[in-house]
């Protein structure tokens, strides 16, 4: 291999580099031990288990495949948003005789390094234009949440809420006749129960 440093410059360059090492506290005879390399382990993530209760807000969980397509698709997307997914849920709650209220749930558990960034990424390209989007206090350290409403199909109001925390990400959509963001933290606590 050909050197790009000419021989007349090699000695002064070596002297400069050697001086820099000595000034920096290093010497050729006393090498510092290398810093230990740590890799994140699966145990570094909080142990999060997700749940799908039989009922939410008095509405029973449905197993209708056509109703589950949207939440299942969203859950697959969420699983790509976390590192080392450990659990996921997709569920729909409704009364088949009265479709004026419905709750859709999608979530994935796994490592989330920066919940604020994760929440922003989850909500930046939504298919609907939400009104009055604002943060929601979930009452859990490290968890961030945000909700907005879609009133395009009045009298139906869709309250769309998302969360991110070190151990999970998810969304809860509530179809109702009014803004239901006040229910978000309680519903999330059912889906993502405390450890």
Rounded CA separation 149/155 (Å):
12
User: In the predicted model, is pLDDT for residue 187 greater than 90?
Assistant: yes
Q: What angle do CA 106, 114, 81 make, to 5 degrees?
A: 35
Range of the domain at 63: 42-191
- For the segment 127-152, the average pLDDT, to the nearest whole number, is 91
Specify the number of domains making up the chain: 1
Predicted confidence at residue 46, as pLDDT, reads: 52
Predicted confidence at residue 93, as pLDDT, reads: 97
* 13 belongs to a structural domain: no
**83-137 pLDDT per residue, tens:** 999 999 999 999 888 888 999 999 999 999 999 999 999 998 787 889 889 999 9
Per DSSP, which regions of the chain are E strands?
55-56, 59-62, 83-95, 98-111, 131-136, 144-150, 157-165, 168-176
CATH number of residue 74's parent domain = 2.60.120
Tokens representing residue 116 in the block:
């604020």
* 24 belongs to a structural domain: no
Contact 144/132 with Cβ under 8 angstroms? Answer: no
* 16 belongs to a structural domain: no
For the chain, the average pLDDT equals 81
- Residue 121 makes CB contacts below 8 A (sequence gap 6+) with 81
User: In the predicted model, is pLDDT for residue 29 greater than 50?
Assistant: no
**64-91 pLDDT per residue, tens:** 999 999 999 999 999 999 999 999 999 9
């Amino acid at each position: 291999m050909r050197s790009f440093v000419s021989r007349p410059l090699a000695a002064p360059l070596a002297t400069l580099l050697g001086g820099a090492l000595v000034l920096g506290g290093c010497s050729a005879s006393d090498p510092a031990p290398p810093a230990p390399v740590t890799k994140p382990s699966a145990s570094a993530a909080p142990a999060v288990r997700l749940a799908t209760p039989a009922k939410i807000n008095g509405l029973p969980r449905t197993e209708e495949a056509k109703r589950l397509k949207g939440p299942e698709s969203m859950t697959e997307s969420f699983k790509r948003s976390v590192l080392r997914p450990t659990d996921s849920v997709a569920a729909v709650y409704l009364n088949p005789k009265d479709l004026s209220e419905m709750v859709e749930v999608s979530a994935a558990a796994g490592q989330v390094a920066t919940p604020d960034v994760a929440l922003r990424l989850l909500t930046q390209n939504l298919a609907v234009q939400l009104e009055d989007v604002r943060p929601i206090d979930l009452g859990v350290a490290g968890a961030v949440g945000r909700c907005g409403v879609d009133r395009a199909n009045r009298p139906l109001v869709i309250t769309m809420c998302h969360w991110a925390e070190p151990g999970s990400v998810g969304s809860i959509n509530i179809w109702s006749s009014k803004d239901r963001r006040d229910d978000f933290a309680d519903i999330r606590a059912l889906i993502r129960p405390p450890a």
